[in-house]
Structure 1
Amino acid sequence: MVLPNWHPESLAARYPFLRRRAALTDAVRGFFHARSYTEVETPYAVATPGEEVHLRPFATLRERPDGSHENLWLHTSPEFGMKRLLVAQAGPIFQFARVWRNGEAGALHAPEFTMLEWYRPGAGLDDLIGETVSLLRAVLPGVVTCRGVTTDLGRIERMTVAEAFSRHAGVDLLAIGEDAPALAAAAGTRLRDGETWEDLFFRLLLERIEPHLGRDHATFLTHWPAAQAALARRDPADPRVAERFELFVCGIELANAFVELTDPVEQRARFVADRARRHGMTDPGVTKPNVTKPGVIGTDWPLDEDFLTALAFGMPPSAGIALGFDRLAMIAAGAGRISQVLWLPPPDLL
């Protein structure tokens, strides 16, 4: 029988991992304070959680004192709030933020978790990779083992997405472009019914690339195709790719980072394109236009005009990273499941 999360024996089993998590929190704060970062807090319930196609936010409802209502969403990342602070000249900032992503649960996923995000004005891709390496080496032992994989943090691998696809999938990703049949043929696989280039890209990434990343040593997977730029700027030296990286340690995807897009015109175009894709999907939880009545939680949100206005006002050139702190705690403590590093994990994760 699985014990409830409040049972003394249940907490006792998690307690060694949780003590390591607490020490890790202190160490991370010390690292950033020593580098003159300011710890910030941004709102969790927001009017616009973003246009990311594959993330599903939790909906909530604000009741104002005058009786009116406003649809709000528990954010999937503090990114937009923190970038507003960059516009306000807050300088280098970091945050331990609670974030929510609906429909996610498993050994490495919890629907509510902690994201460590930090942003440094004036930083570039190399700067952010260097700082991330320094953080790992400051708060973790030199060799870490998690979920049966041992990683030596004294060695760091950098590989572009194109190099990874060439090495592990045998395809020239950038030469093929966004041509799903051509990518399938080059990879020696069948294009599934209704599978788009993006679907196939992530299938190959999951099946052929990621099993080789972040194992003997930490891997930074850099320079993503422009179609997967998200909120990163295109590389000025090669606009086919974006200045983005993901970090893998112990075979676990640990972080996602950008040299930030600061152009409000391009950002609006990306928002509109992602919004159209999101509305074209079939999940009723996030895709229907907002046709709600007062006092009823809606299924969509307005375009984030306030954020676009802030970008137009002027955000300094910056680099930023979102790191899954619970996963970092798992690696630090050698935990096998995310539930072991949560003080009160959801019952379905026990």
Structure 2
Amino acid sequence: MPEASPWWTPSVHADRRPALMARNRIEHAVRGDLMEAGFLFVDPPGLQRSPGNETHLHAFATTAIGNDGAGEQLYLHTSPEFSMKKLLAAGERRIASFGHVWRNRERSALHHPEFTMLEWYRAEEPYSAVMDDCVRLVRLAAATSGVAELRWRDAVCDPLATPERLSVAEAFSRYAGIDLMATMDADGVADADALAEAMRAAEIAVPPAYTWSYLFSLILVDRVEPHLGQGRMTLLDHYPACEAALARRLPEDRRVSERFELYAAGVELANGFGELTDPVEQRTRFEAEMDEKQRLYGESYPLDEDLLAALPLMPETAGVALGFDRLVMLAVGARRIEDVLWVPVAGGNR
């Protein structure tokens, strides 16, 4: 099979250009919507001392040589979250960011090492408010593109249909036949062997070596996610606390947290939280995540001590991050994320 022509070949660019122009229109519409709703757009720096402290997020590292030549390791952020939370601590109340983030070890039809994230926060407002924002912006993207359906490959989603709101526990029961809550104690401490036994009872293969988190991810990806966002959007809500390192727990059930993900046409578009503001619990969670990262990948990242110091000043807040490139993909029916990037990153596994 002959090698495809580069993206900068005039004929290839001409084919790609309609989707890129749609991208620009959607960006303009989204910015306008959030500004009309009273959001202030801020511009967090990409370089950070800590790129994020979640087990399976991988960063790009660099060295800041400095005037003295001593050198300091910095990272390109995986999200603007830490910077934006410091702005909330400083007194801002409705803020949004539209910019590039970087994630290593990620390249596929839905992943790119450098991509555009739309992230916004509502201080002193309920968790449900950012869910409503997500649904509204997805509908706006479809309307701006002039499409009645969002599409990815063979999956379709009617953006105007009433979204389904489904807890993670309900989804596991419905699509995998597993009582997820029975595999955690009252404080949310997870039992890997209990989940493995539940998988065997549901005739789901269990790998020879496992953790609860690994089994959870296997079930979610293989049995649950293929059913989400089909025909209408799905808000997958109330993640287990051990799978929501930055979200506050539900007061009525400490096993789960205020975390949701939005799916459309089988694609995860957004990840939102009722934000954790307890610095002691946040430090404990970060340390546990980095211990697991060290065990699995042989590396870990420093904690952002400024963030931990700022959290007591931060009000109760709801926040969400939305993968803008994926939203554009669904609105124009693109099959790969690179089809909606003005300039894809060179190299890598496609």
Q: TM over 0.5, yes or no? A: yes
Corresponding residue number in structure 2 for 1:7: 9
Cα separation, 2, equivalents of 1:229 and 1:55: 13
Query: By how many angstroms is 1:347 displaced?
Result: 3.9
Q: Of 143, 149, 157, which residue of structure 1 is paired with 2:155?
A: 149
Secondary structure (helix, strand or coil) at the match of 2:96 reads strand
Amino acid at match of 2:195: L
- The amino acid across from 2:32 in the alignment is G
Give the whole-Å Cα distance in 1 for the aligned partners of 2:92 and 2:311: 15
SS at match of 2:158: strand
- Structure 2 match to 1:257: 272
Q: Is the 8 A contact 1:231 1:261 kept in 2?
A: yes
Partner of 2:173: 166
The alpha carbon displacement at 1:346 in A equals: 2.8
**CA distance in 2: counterparts of 1:103 and 1:132, whole angstroms:** 27
> What aligned pairs does 1:162-311 form with structure 2 within 5 A after superposition?
162-177=169-184, 178-186=190-198, 187-281=202-296, 283-284=297-298, 287=299, 301-311=301-311
1:181–1:191: 8 Å Cα contact kept in structure 2? no
Question: Letter of the aligned partner of 1:337 in structure 2?
Answer: R
SS of the residue corresponding to residue 230 of structure 1 reads: coil
Contact 1:60–1:71 (Cα < 8 Å) also in 2: yes
Contact 2:53 2:301 in 1 (8 A): no
CA contact (8 A) 1:5 1:347 kept: no
What is the rounded CA distance, in whole Å, between the counterparts of 1:199 and 1:341 in structure 2?
32
Q: Which amino acid aligns with 1:304?
A: D
**Partners of 1:180 and 1:191 within 8 A in 2:** no
The amino acid that maps onto 2:344 is P
Q: How many residues align?
A: 334
TM-score normalised by the chain length of structure 2: 0.92
- Offset, 1:75: 0.5
Paired with 1:75 and 1:318, the residues of 2 have a C-alpha distance of 21
TM-score (norm 1): 0.92
- Distance in 2 between the 1:215 and 1:256 partners? 18
Aligned equivalent of 2:314: 315
Distance 2:343 2:9 in 1: 10
What residue number does 2:329 align with?
A: 330
**d(CA) in 2 for partners of 1:226, 1:56:** 21
Superposition map of 1:64-213 within 5 A? 64-141=66-143, 142-155=148-161, 156-177=163-184, 178-186=190-198, 187-213=202-228
The amino acid that maps onto 1:247 is: L
Asked if structure 1 preserves the Cα contact closer than 8 Å seen for 2:138 and 2:327, the reply is no
CA contact (8 A) 2:59 2:104 kept: yes
Match of 1:23, as an amino acid? R
